[in-house]
Protein backbone atom coordinates (compact mmCIF):
# COMPACT_ATOMS: atom_id res chain seq x y z
CA UNK A 1 0.00 0.00 0.00
CA UNK A 2 1.30 3.44 -0.93
CA UNK A 3 0.13 6.38 1.16
CA UNK A 4 1.03 10.03 0.64
CA UNK A 5 -0.62 13.18 1.92
CA UNK A 6 -2.61 13.44 -1.33
CA UNK A 7 -3.13 9.84 -2.53
CA UNK A 8 -3.59 6.29 -1.29
CA UNK A 9 -3.11 3.25 -3.45
CA UNK A 10 -1.61 -0.15 -3.92
CA UNK A 11 1.47 -1.08 -5.89
CA UNK A 12 0.58 -2.96 -9.11
CA UNK A 13 2.03 -6.14 -7.58
CA UNK A 14 -0.78 -6.03 -5.01
CA UNK A 15 -3.70 -5.37 -7.35
CA UNK A 16 -4.93 -8.98 -7.48
CA UNK A 17 -4.94 -9.40 -3.69
CA UNK A 18 -6.74 -6.07 -3.22
CA UNK A 19 -9.34 -6.93 -5.86
CA UNK A 20 -9.92 -10.35 -4.26
CA UNK A 21 -10.31 -8.71 -0.85
CA UNK A 22 -12.84 -6.19 -2.17
CA UNK A 23 -14.84 -8.83 -3.99
CA UNK A 24 -14.84 -11.46 -1.23
CA UNK A 25 -15.19 -9.29 1.88
CA UNK A 26 -17.48 -6.50 0.75
CA UNK A 27 -20.70 -7.95 -0.67
CA UNK A 28 -22.28 -4.51 -1.05
CA UNK A 29 -19.47 -3.22 -3.29
CA UNK A 30 -19.18 -3.95 -6.97
CA UNK A 31 -15.65 -4.04 -8.33
CA UNK A 32 -16.15 -2.26 -11.65
CA UNK A 33 -12.75 -0.84 -12.50
CA UNK A 34 -9.11 -0.19 -11.78
CA UNK A 35 -7.45 3.21 -11.66
CA UNK A 36 -3.82 4.17 -11.96
CA UNK A 37 -2.29 7.43 -10.89
CA UNK A 38 0.95 8.00 -12.74
CA UNK A 39 4.09 9.82 -11.75
CA UNK A 40 3.50 13.52 -11.10
CA UNK A 41 6.02 14.48 -13.80
CA UNK A 42 4.45 12.03 -16.31
CA UNK A 43 7.93 10.53 -16.83
CA UNK A 44 6.75 6.92 -16.96
CA UNK A 45 3.43 7.34 -18.78
CA UNK A 46 3.62 4.31 -21.15
CA UNK A 47 4.95 2.15 -18.32
CA UNK A 48 2.00 3.20 -16.13
CA UNK A 49 -0.53 2.36 -18.82
CA UNK A 50 1.01 -1.07 -19.39
CA UNK A 51 1.00 -1.74 -15.65
CA UNK A 52 -2.73 -0.93 -15.51
CA UNK A 53 -3.51 -3.21 -18.46
CA UNK A 54 -1.50 -5.99 -16.81
CA UNK A 55 -3.43 -5.50 -13.57
CA UNK A 56 -6.71 -5.74 -15.45
CA UNK A 57 -5.63 -8.96 -17.14
CA UNK A 58 -4.37 -10.50 -13.88
CA UNK A 59 -7.43 -9.50 -11.83
CA UNK A 60 -9.87 -10.75 -14.45
CA UNK A 61 -8.05 -14.05 -14.80
CA UNK A 62 -7.89 -14.58 -11.03
CA UNK A 63 -11.53 -13.60 -10.41
CA UNK A 64 -12.90 -15.27 -13.55
CA UNK A 65 -14.51 -12.15 -15.00
CA UNK A 66 -14.38 -10.84 -18.57
CA UNK A 67 -11.95 -7.96 -19.12
CA UNK A 68 -14.68 -5.76 -20.61
CA UNK A 69 -16.45 -5.95 -17.23
CA UNK A 70 -13.50 -4.29 -15.44
CA UNK A 71 -13.04 -0.74 -16.72
CA UNK A 72 -9.75 1.12 -16.74
CA UNK A 73 -9.45 4.61 -15.30
CA UNK A 74 -6.35 6.73 -15.88
CA UNK A 75 -5.63 9.85 -13.82
CA UNK A 76 -3.66 11.90 -16.33
CA UNK A 77 -5.45 14.89 -17.84
CA UNK A 78 -2.65 15.98 -20.14
CA UNK A 79 -2.25 12.54 -21.73
CA UNK A 80 -5.90 11.63 -22.24
CA UNK A 81 -5.45 10.82 -25.95
CA UNK A 82 -2.73 8.31 -25.14
CA UNK A 83 -4.76 6.82 -22.30
CA UNK A 84 -7.63 6.15 -24.68
CA UNK A 85 -5.26 4.55 -27.21
CA UNK A 86 -3.91 2.33 -24.42
CA UNK A 87 -7.41 1.14 -23.50
CA UNK A 88 -8.65 3.49 -20.80
CA UNK A 89 -12.43 3.61 -20.71
CA UNK A 90 -12.51 6.61 -18.36
CA UNK A 91 -10.20 9.59 -18.01
CA UNK A 92 -10.11 12.21 -15.27
CA UNK A 93 -9.63 15.70 -16.67
CA UNK A 94 -9.79 17.78 -13.49
CA UNK A 95 -6.58 19.74 -13.97
CA UNK A 96 -7.54 20.49 -17.57
CA UNK A 97 -10.68 22.18 -16.27
CA UNK A 98 -9.57 23.49 -12.86
CA UNK A 99 -5.85 24.00 -13.38
CA UNK A 100 -2.82 22.35 -11.84
CA UNK A 101 -2.79 21.43 -8.16
CA UNK A 102 0.03 21.96 -5.77
CA UNK A 103 1.11 18.66 -4.22
CA UNK A 104 2.57 18.44 -0.72
CA UNK A 105 6.21 17.46 -0.47
CA UNK A 106 6.66 14.01 1.08
Structure confidence by residue, pLDDT tens digits, 55-72: 999 999 999 999 989 988
Q: What is the pLDDT of residue 1?
A: 57
Does residue 105 lie within any of the structural domains? no
Does residue 61 lie within any of the structural domains? yes
Output the pTM of the full model. Answer: 0.71
For range 12-18, the mean pLDDT: 90
Range of the domain at 6: 2-98
Q: What is the pLDDT of residue 38?
A: 64
- Given a contact cutoff of 8 angstroms between Cβ atoms, the answer to whether 53 and 74 are in contact is no
For range 20-29, the mean pLDDT: 90
In this predicted structure, the answer to whether residue 53 has a pLDDT above a threshold of 90 is no
Does residue 104 lie within any of the structural domains? no
The domain total for the chain is 1
Sign of CA dihedral 53, 58, 59, 65: positive
Does residue 103 lie within any of the structural domains? no
**Euclidean distance between CA atoms 31 and 95, whole angstroms:** 26
Amino acid sequence: MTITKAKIGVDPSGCVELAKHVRLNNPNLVLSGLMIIGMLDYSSTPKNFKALANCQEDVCKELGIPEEQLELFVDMSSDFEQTIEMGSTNVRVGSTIFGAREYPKN
